[in-house]
Amino acid sequence: MPETKNIKNAYVFIDGNNLYHNVKKIIKPSYVDFVKLSEFVCSHFEYKRKLSIYYNSVPSIADGEKLYYEHMKFLDETSKLPNFDVKTRKLQRHPTKDALIEKKEIIDNLDFCDKCQPLVETMCNDCIGNVKKREKGIDVMIAVDMIDFCLIKNECDSCILISGDADFIHALDVIKNSGKDVATAFIPQGYSYELREHHKNLIIGKNLLMEKCLKDYKTI
């Protein structure tokens, strides 16, 4: 009898923010089918997908009700995909570097005493100068979950990361050094060379993305 190959099961961790900002340079991000993407990547590495977890930030309703409710609808629909989970963090607002410089110049010119100046600086951090939105905490959440599900809870044989961010290298190293399979996949844009050098990788070029990972025409 032919030998039966033991197919390892995999958890797929999708860095939604990173994917969105890079995919939009190629196609409209809403065209991507996350189930097809997950299954295609697992198939490439000869794994069986057990679960995909999609990570994304949640905008503030202050940024506009239309944007907020459309995004929440998208996250709700994604959470209902087969063998899918969604995890989120609020989109934080942080002063830009220029705003911090501007703040310092303004406060210095007001000639506060040594006791008052630190207090004023603390109070003004979020209210002087321009403010930009920043995705905060998502990377940490992904790294912690990869170690938790793959090692501590031991729920899968293989860890697949869909992200181009080199910040995940150390977490992936820990998982690999503990005897688990590790692989990454991403589109060419934003796919860290260092990340590709460290672990098995799949570059999903435009043709592969269009052929294997898009929603059916009727659902777009």
Tell me the per-residue pLDDT of 126-148, one tens digit each, with 9 for 90 and over. 444 444 444 557 888 999 999 99
Averaged pLDDT for residues 117-125: 55
Query: For residue 93, what pLDDT band results from cuts at 50, 70 and 90?
Result: low
Residue 129, domain member (yes or no): no
150: containing domain: 8-91+135-219
Please tell me the predicted confidence (pLDDT) of residue 137: 79
**pLDDT, the chain, mean:** 83
The total number of structural domains in the chain stands at 1
The pLDDT of residue 129 is 42
Q: How far apart are CA 9 and CA 34, in angstroms?
A: 18
Best-predicted range by mean pLDDT (81-95, 98-112, 164-178): 164-178
Instruction: For residue 170, tell me if it sits in a domain.
Output: yes
18 falls within a domain: yes
State the alpha helices, DSSP H only, in 110-192: 116-124, 138-147, 169-177
Domain membership of residue 99 (yes or no) is no
Would you place residue 167 in the very low, low, confident or very high pLDDT band (cuts 50, 70, 90)?
very high
In a domain, 101, yes or no: no
How big, in percent rounded to 5, are the helix, strand and coil portions of the chain? 50, 25, 30
Q: Report yes or no on 36 lying in a domain.
A: yes
Q: Do the domain assignments include residue 128?
A: no
CATH number for the domain that contains residue 183: 3.40.50.1010
Q: Which of 27-36, 111-120, 140-149 has the lowest mean pLDDT?
A: 111-120
Distance between CA 217 and CA 220 in Å, rounded?
Answer: 6
213 in any annotated domain: yes
